Structure 1
Amino acid sequence: MAVLLKFLTALSLFVGAARAQGFMPVPPDDGPCPVFPVVKNFDLHAYLGRWYEIERFFNPFQDGSCVTADYALFPNGSVSVLNTDVQEGASNTIAGVATLSDDPSAGQLFVEFPFTAGFDGGDLGGNKPNYNVVATDYKNYAVVYTCEFFGPELKFEFSWILARRPYIPSSFLADLKAWLQLVNINAKRYMPTVQTDCPNRVAS
C-alpha cells in the first residue's frame, strides 16, 4: 500500500508538471519493463566527474535547463551525487548518494535523493538498482536508464543521455538513439535539454 501511495503521488506530479509545461510526453510502451543491457566491467573511477545532460525522458522531478551531474567518491566508497540546473535564471542544486550494486563489476547503482519520495531501488522491493549505465565510453558519453513496473498501465521509465561536454554531435546522437531502439529503450521518448546561455559557465 505504501508503494502504491508513493506511485500515485508521483503520478499526480508527473501529469501536473506536464500540463504546466504545455505538453504531454510520449508515454511508456505497454507491458512490463524491457530487458536492457548494462555496462560490464564498470570502471567507477573513470565514470566520476562532471556529466552534462544532453537529453532525458520527461519526468516530474526535472524541468530546468543547463543540467549537470557531478560524481565524487566518499572515503567510505559510496558516491556523492550533486545535480545542478537553472530555473527562471536561478541555479539550483540537489545532493544525493549512490552506492554500487552487489555486483561491483556491473554498471548498476542505487541512487537516493530527498525528492524521490521513496522511489529508490531498496524501497520498491527486490533491491533493484535504479541507476543503470546502459552504455558509456567514460570520456565522451553515457546513457542511464531505469524502469519500475507496477502492473498494467502503471510503469515509470527514466533515462538520460549524458556527455562530458554540453553538446554532442548530432550524427553520433542519431546513431546512439538507433542503437537504443535495438536494445529495447524507446528513444522517441527523449527530449533535448537546453545547454545554452548557462550562467557562470566557462565555454569549453
Structure 2
Amino acid sequence: MSAVYLVLLLLPLVSAQTFHWGPCPSPAVQPSFDVQKYLGRWYEIARLPNSFERGKCIEANYALRKDGTIRVLNSQLYKDKVSTAEGTAVVPDTREMAKLGVSFSYFTPYSPYWVLTTDYTSLAVVYSCTDVLRLFRVEYAWILSRSRFPLPQTVRYAKELLVREGIDISRMKATDQNCKDN
C-alpha cells in the first residue's frame, strides 16, 4: 500500500514528462558507436515532453574533455533569452559505447542517454528511460540533426525506428528551429 502512496506523491513531479506503467524497454542501440564522430553540434528536431526544455532553437554541443568525459552544452531560446545547461556524459561500459550516462549536476546520478541510431552526419535518435520502483517509467526521446531542417523522410525514419523499438511517440512534438544560427 505504501508504494501506491509513493506513486501518487511522485505523479505531479512527472506530469511534464512522458511516463508509462511498467519497466523500461530495452531498445537496440547503435552498433560500433564512435563517440569521436558524434561530437559537435546537434539540433533538436523533435522530442517527447520534458520539464527542462520549454524554448525553441534547442541544440546540444558535445566536446571531449581532457579527462575523457564528454562536455554537454545544451542551449535554447526561451522568452527571448538564450539559456544554457552544461553537463557531463560518460560511457559507463566500453562494451556498449552507445549507452552513455549524462548528468547536469554533481548531486544527481547519471541518467541513461542511449544512441539508438546515428549516421554522424545528419541524424541521431536518442532515448532515455528511468524505472521508478519498476511500477512506471519516465521516458525521454529526441530526434537530432546536424541541420536545423532535415528532410521529412529523415524525421519519418527516426519516428518509425522509435515505434519499432516499442517507444510511444504519440506525445512527440516538433521543436521550433526557426532561428538565426549563432
Q: TM-score, normalised by structure 1?
A: 0.77
Which of 171, 174, 179 in structure 2 is aligned with 1:192?
A: 174
Root-mean-square deviation (CA), in Å?
2.5
Partner residue of 1:88 out of 79, 85, 104: 79
Corresponding residue SS for 2:63: strand
Higher helix share: 1
Q: What is the match of residue 146 of structure 2? A: 164
| Per-residue CA distance 1:72-128 (angstroms, 9 max, x = gap) | 01111111110000111111111111111212552011111039x73534xxxxxxx
- Which 5+ residue runs of structure 1 have no aligned equivalent? 19-24, 122-129
% same residue? 35
CA shift, 1:50, in A, is 0.2
SS state at 2:170 partner: helix
Runs (4+) of structure 1 exceeding 6 A deviation are none
**1:139 and 2:121 aligned:** yes
Number of aligned positions between the proteins: 177
SS of the residue corresponding to residue 31 of structure 2 reads coil
Letter in 2 for 1:106: M
Q: Specify every segment of 5 or more residues in structure 2 that has no aligned partner in the other structure, as ranges.
A: none
SS state at 2:161 partner? helix
Q: Residue 105 of structure 2 aligns to which amino acid in structure 1? A: P
The one-letter code matched in structure 1 to 2:100 is L
Matches within 5 A, 1:28-107: 28-103=19-94, 105-107=96-98
Asked if 2 retains the 8 angstrom alpha-carbon contact of 1:178 and 1:187, the reply is no
Local SS of the residue matching 1:32: coil
Q: Which amino acid is 1:149 matched to?
A: D
